[in-house]
Amino acid sequence: MTSSPIKHVVIVGGGSAGWLTAAVIAADHRASDADGLRVTLIESPDVAPIGVGEGTWPSMRDTLRRIGVSESDFFRECDAAFKQGSRFDGWATGAAVDYYFHPFTLPPGYGEADLAARWQEAHAAVPFADLASFQPHLCTAGRAPKQAATPEFAAVANYGYHLDAGKFGQFLKKHCLERLGVHYVPDHVLAIASHENGDIAALRTAHHGLLAGDLFVDCTGMRSLLLGQHYDTPFLSQRHVLFNDSALAVQVPYTFEDSPIASQTTSTAQQAGWIWDIGLPGRRGVGHVYSSAHTSDEDAERALRSYVAATGGPADCAPPRRIGFQPGYRARFWQRNCVAIGLSAGFIEPLEASALALVELSAAMLSDEMPATRDTMDIVARRFNEVFRYRWERVIDFLKLHYVLSRRTDSSYWHDNRQRESIPASLSELLALWQHRAPMRGDFPRIEEVFPAASYQYILYGMGAAVPPTGTRRRDSAAADGYFREAAELTRRMLKALPTNRELIDHVRRHGLPRI
């Protein structure tokens, strides 16, 4: 077996993770050609996807372009909207004026001047991101990140998407089957047949018999049918670091058809968690993420309903859907000839929309490093496991940073999140360094980091952390002030030239965007 070529990839499970993985592999490896890699997706017709995960990173633009879809069609079929970052309300102190932005665009002059030090020295009355970047002002004004004449996937301001997760999965499925040559098997997996060496040989299905393959991708969600159940790969719980394990999700209609569409995800802190608010063209997606150890389901639902009513939604909104989850990830993501992508690999919480991004990264690395033969697969698997163990750890550090920096004292939830024993050692080391300097690129040395140092600065100083004195380092106040003026000038020009989010989305749905 060791020298046998990899000719057939079998993906188990659909949804966003399964169909996105199928699309990337099929597009890269010519699945529609007779001599291309065969890609089959088997999906149980009775298992509905979870249907959350409605926010993406800007990386999704490259992924959609990679698989050959039209951005205009994506907007029309997925109820999509532009997303330019996140706004955090009430995370630092809980006061009415407590807010900050984590925009997707790097500040002008990032890496060229000590923007944070100059901000605190001379401009601390203005929130850091509002001074250093034009993008928070675009979000506040509800502006789109591009103009109607800007081609598909191109940007004036960096952007990702908000989308309807259920429609997105169907959109990807249609593209895979009609354009990319993916084979589809709607069936139930009853059992797993193994080779003598422990590799998966085939899946026994209810109606199609044995489905053999060379490489199997587990996209079965939290069941983790292949990696978790068949291989019994350990699950590394992160409940001791990030306490949230429950969510209540509801769809909220707009008051008017032409109501503004938010240009950012809004995350509003609560006594035992936080509420997400995502604007789509036809509705809002709102949900309360919380720790069941710190509040009850009933109290969490009351908080959610109160938020919906206070933000213009109906007082009698539909009963929310409860989703339980265990925060954590698998000890290995690739074992023998099986690799897990999506919820089958792990899940933390939807803060900063990392779930779909990790699917993208996983699908890309699997496709880029697709082993040619079985004897090279173990090498690729070791590399894959090392890379994604590092990425999951960085995601956890970054999410925990939001909680560690909070100064809220209104509940045990926020107090417990600041306890030293709940902070990963890697984050504690960085926090110790950042008492003497700002986060810098050298803190995150990988070529493809999940979050750049600029993102840590946005969170650190958005939450009100003090910027350390520059000490003996060269002062570059004039350069920093020049970049702040540049950001202000960009703000002025963009606010004047860019349409609102809804205006551009309506245009895209009617007329489309130019294609290069």
At residue 472, the pLDDT reads 52
Average pLDDT over residues 203-215: 97
Q: Considering the domain boundaries, does residue 59 fall inside one?
A: no
pLDDT in tens, 307-338: 999 999 998 888 999 999 999 999 999 999 99
Q: For residue 270, which of 310, 318, 319 has the smallest C-alpha distance?
A: 310
Q: Considering the domain boundaries, does residue 284 fall inside one?
A: yes
Rounded Cα–Cα distance for residues 66 and 60 (Å): 9
| 508's tokens | 């895209």
Classify each residue of 285-305 as buried b or exposed e, where b means 16 or more C-beta atoms within 10 Å of its C-beta.
Answer: bbbbbbbeebbeeeebbebbb
Average pLDDT over residues 397-401: 98
Q: Considering the domain boundaries, does residue 286 fall inside one?
A: yes
pLDDT in tens, 43-79: 998 777 665 569 999 999 999 999 999 999 999 999 9
At residue 470, the pLDDT reads 66
pLDDT of 471 strictly over 80: no
Average pLDDT over residues 277-289: 97
Give the up-direction half-sphere exposure of residue 455: CA atoms within 13 A in the CB hemisphere: 18
**For the ranges 154-168, 358-372, 382-396, 460-474, which has the lowest average pLDDT?**
460-474
What residues pair up with 286 in beta bridges, in sequence order? 250, 277
Phi, psi of 502 (to 5 degrees): -65, -40
Q: From residue 220, give the alpha-carbon distance in Å to each of 224, 229, 327.
A: 5, 11, 17
Helix 15-28 vs helix 165-179: angle between axes, to the nearest 10 degrees? 30
pLDDT of 4 strictly over 90: no
Q: Considering the domain boundaries, does residue 307 fall inside one?
A: yes
Rounded Cα–Cα distance for residues 231 and 224 (Å): 10
pLDDT in tens, 370-390: 999 999 999 999 999 999 999
Q: Locate the DSSP E strands across 308-437.
A: 321-324, 328-330, 334-335, 338-340, 346-347
Q: 294: helix, coil or strand?
A: coil
**How many other C-beta atoms can be found within 10 angstroms of the C-beta atom of residue 375?**
12
pLDDT in tens, 245-263: 999 999 999 999 999 999 9
Average pLDDT over residues 165-172: 96
pLDDT tier at 468, thresholds 50, 70, 90 = confident
At residue 474, the pLDDT reads 65
Count: domains in the chain: 1
Average pLDDT over residues 182-202: 97
Average pLDDT over residues 157-186: 97
* Backbone CA torsion sign across 132, 133, 139, 143: positive
Domain that holds residue 282: 246-324
Check: CB of residue 71 under 8 Å from CB of residue 153. yes
Q: Considering the domain boundaries, does residue 115 fall inside one?
A: no
pLDDT tier at 297, thresholds 50, 70, 90 = very high
Q: Considering the domain boundaries, does residue 313 fall inside one?
A: yes
Of all residues in the chain, the percent with pLDDT exceeding 90 is 91
Q: Considering the domain boundaries, does residue 317 fall inside one?
A: yes
* Backbone CA torsion sign across 40, 44, 48, 50: negative
At residue 454, the pLDDT reads 95
**CATH value at residue 296:** 3.30.70
Average pLDDT over residues 493-501: 98
Average pLDDT over residues 399-415: 97
pLDDT of 1 strictly over 60: no
Three state DSSP letters for 10-33 = EEECCHHHHHHHHHHHHHHCCCCC
Check: CB of residue 453 under 8 Å from CB of residue 443. yes
The pTM of the full predicted model, rounded to 2 decimals, is 0.96
Check: CB of residue 490 under 8 Å from CB of residue 127. no
Q: Considering the domain boundaries, does residue 397 fall inside one?
A: no
pLDDT in tens, 210-242: 999 999 999 999 999 999 999 999 999 999 999
What residues pair up with 83 in beta bridges, in sequence order? 160
pLDDT in tens, 436-467: 888 998 999 888 899 999 999 999 999 999 88
